[in-house]
Structure 1
């Protein structure tokens, strides 16, 4: 059961930062990530911005609506309940809340000043790290790309100076591109940045429009990541943080 009464003006926005070396496929990946059944065409999801390549999609965040508790002294036994209340529901009703998801990929020809980066990074609710599986140095470089955004997010959203907090850092998804160029599918190894961060990792071909096909494993990982992004925004709102 979907939330039919939610108006666009009431839809909150979460922001996701795309990070990785130039040429690894961030723009093509963003095209895939922003595509969904309710935001199907590029024209409906592209936002003009001189500094950033931004695409927007709608995400349906599931919530459980429990039935009101019944006092024990009025609750019939299970056998009586099945006879008297054959249509009674014992499981929560699932509903959905819409969120706008904005994907930000910095224009490779521009450089942001430190203050501008700080002001932007503190608003980020999720990060996608992108590397080329044909060039593993691009995976090593992700540590450098991640350091400053993660430090600023922890500073303003957690009010901590430490750049990584166990199981509480901003949601991160790691994506390896150029899967179609490999002879064999890579193994998931310990010691990779995804393993170090405890993050999901996806291997794909950014030119394949079916990379996030309905009910696929990749789609499940993406949906789970977007759900965690929404939860991060709600649990660590910027309005409740302060500058240290």
Structure 2
């Protein structure tokens, strides 16, 4: 695995929405019947085939950082938000508040990852106490995202909701794909299913942005000759 290039994807959402069970299902394809509460962060890895089935297929390591959702730890979570390449936003379909809180999670991750310096305890507290935080407060997000709604069976039992629910507001606002599933049913992410296809497409986007778009930008950087017109080029790099 040491020779395989890696990308880091954060899995965030309220405590109890099923992030650990989801991460386990993605990485191992099995059901985690009694997941423990995550304190801090738990890391799982998955080998993903980028552009599987094409001439460009290549193996990458996906590191899934399952971030503990406890409100008590909100001021220390930022230590896990460095070098983020993708975000999976998780909510419980039977708990509307967990869906509304996804804007807060997105703000917490993207502001910290961008290095804005806004993650002192006071700013973090204000973000979580603001009842009206929305996408317009966060601004443009330049990172691949996927929204996952879990506990589809519980939602149906609790509120009589249909199996196929409408997309969440945050998925609509940012134009991201969304998956609804039961983490207790491994068939939901079985190869060939709509959810598995969307997940693979998301991982491809993460890899493409991190490795291929960066290389394209570097290759497009102009070369300049010196003032004497010598052939030696000077690379003009923004880094």
Q: In which range does the TM-score fall when normalised by the shorter chain? A: 0.5 to 0.7
Query: Paired residue for 2:204, among 215, 221, 227?
Result: 227
**1:154 Cα deviation after fit:** 4.1
Shift in CA distance, 215/150, structure 1 to aligned 2, threshold 3 Å: same
- Work out whether residues 154 and 164 of structure 1, in 8 Å CA contact, stay in contact via their aligned partners in 2: no
- Please name the residue that 1:176 is paired with: 149
- Work out whether residues 153 and 170 of structure 1, in 8 Å CA contact, stay in contact via their aligned partners in 2: no
- Please name the residue that 2:174 is paired with: 197
**1:185 Cα deviation after fit:** 2.2
Q: After superposition, what is the alpha-carbon deviation per residue over 1:201-243, rounded to whole angstroms, capped at 9, x for unaligned?
A: 0110011011111111111100000000101212359xx987x
- 1:187 match: secondary structure: coil
Shift in CA distance, 112/215, structure 1 to aligned 2, threshold 3 Å: same
- 1:101 match: secondary structure: strand
Shift in CA distance, 108/63, structure 1 to aligned 2, threshold 3 Å: closer
- Work out whether residues 154 and 169 of structure 1, in 8 Å CA contact, stay in contact via their aligned partners in 2: no
**In structure 2, what is the Cα distance between the partners aligned to 1:63 and 1:137?**
37
- Work out whether residues 24 and 31 of structure 2, in 8 Å CA contact, stay in contact via their aligned partners in 1: no
Q: What TM-score do the two structures reach when normalised by structure 2?
A: 0.67
Higher relative contact order (CA 8 A, sep 6+): 1
Highest Rg: 1 or 2? 1
Q: Which moved more, 1:27-36 or 1:17-26?
A: 27-36
- Please name the residue that 2:20 is paired with: 27
- Please name the residue that 1:111 is paired with: 73
**1:97 Cα deviation after fit:** 1.3
Q: What TM-score do the two structures reach when normalised by structure 1?
A: 0.66
Gaps of 5+ in 2: 33-37, 117-136, 216-236
- Please name the residue that 1:80 is paired with: none
Q: Which moved more, 1:49-58 or 1:223-232?
A: 49-58
After TM superposition, the runs of 4+ consecutive aligned structure 1 residues lying more than 6 A away are none
**1:197 Cα deviation after fit:** 1.1
Query: Paired residue for 1:53, among 31, 38, 42?
Result: 42
**In structure 2, what is the Cα distance between the partners aligned to 1:112 and 1:130?**
16
Number of residue pairs aligned between Structure 1 and Structure 2: 187
Gaps of 5+ in 1: 1-7, 43-48, 65-92, 157-161
1:1-244 residue pairs with structure 2 within 5 A? 8-35=1-28, 51-62=40-51, 94-108=55-69, 111=73, 117=78, 120-155=80-115, 163-165=138-140, 169-181=142-154, 182=156, 183=160, 184-189=162-167, 192-234=169-211, 235-236=213-214
- 2:56 match: secondary structure: strand
- 2:202 match: secondary structure: helix
- 1:9 match: secondary structure: coil
